């Protein structure tokens, strides 16, 4: 299959893309399609960062053995989110091939790995005690999950309303 990218958009360009697509099964995409995909990806990354920030704040607020320093908070959130994004597919693959029963707990394991790596690499997050580690993992996971479900409703709804006006 031949793939062609057209870096313009408009009625004539779309007609040309449709005509080329009909020939020999070519797939022709306009740059506008890539732009909207990139915007959606950036929105998902932003929501993921905000959700993890909420999760870390809630856990630090609830647990006495967990603290986040204000100056390093942003760095801790970025490190935590990056580790989660990288570790999630790896842990999922390991769970599927080695321990199928672990598949349901991949998010919790990923959250724990993210917390562990962030505390080792960053000075902005400290967690003391086994009980605090277990509770922090559960609280960060649950708060980030709820924030990831609720934030898009408010953020996307507001953006759609602003675009309509």
- pTM for the model stands at 0.70
Q: How far apart are CA 120 and CA 22, in angstroms?
A: 55
Structural domain boundaries of the chain? 43-164
pLDDT band at 12, cuts 50/70/90?
low
Weakest-pLDDT range from 15-29, 49-63, 100-114:
15-29
Which range scores top for mean pLDDT: 14-18, 61-65, 79-83? 61-65
∠ Cα 115 83 109 (to 5°): 55
């Amino acid at each position: 299959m031949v793939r062609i990218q057209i870096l313009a958009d408009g009625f004539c360009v779309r007609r040309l893309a449709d005509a080329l697509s009909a020939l020999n099964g070519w797939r022709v995409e306009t740059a506008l399609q890539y732009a909207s995909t990139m915007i959606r990806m950036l929105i998902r990354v932003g929501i993921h960062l905000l959700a993890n920030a909420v999760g870390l704040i809630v856990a630090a607020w609830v647990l006495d053995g967990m603290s986040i320093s204000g100056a390093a908070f942003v760095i801790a959130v970025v490190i935590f989110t990056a580790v989660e994004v990288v570790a999630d597919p790896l842990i999922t693959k390991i769970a599927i091939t080695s321990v199928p029963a672990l598949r349901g707990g991949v998010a919790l394991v990923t959250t724990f790995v993210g917390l562990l790596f962030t505390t080792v690499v960053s000075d902005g997050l400290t967690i003391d005690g086994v009980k605090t580690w277990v509770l922090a993992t559960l609280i960060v996971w649950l708060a980030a999950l709820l924030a990831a479900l609720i934030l898009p409703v408010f953020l996307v709804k507001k953006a759609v309303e602003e675009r309509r006006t």
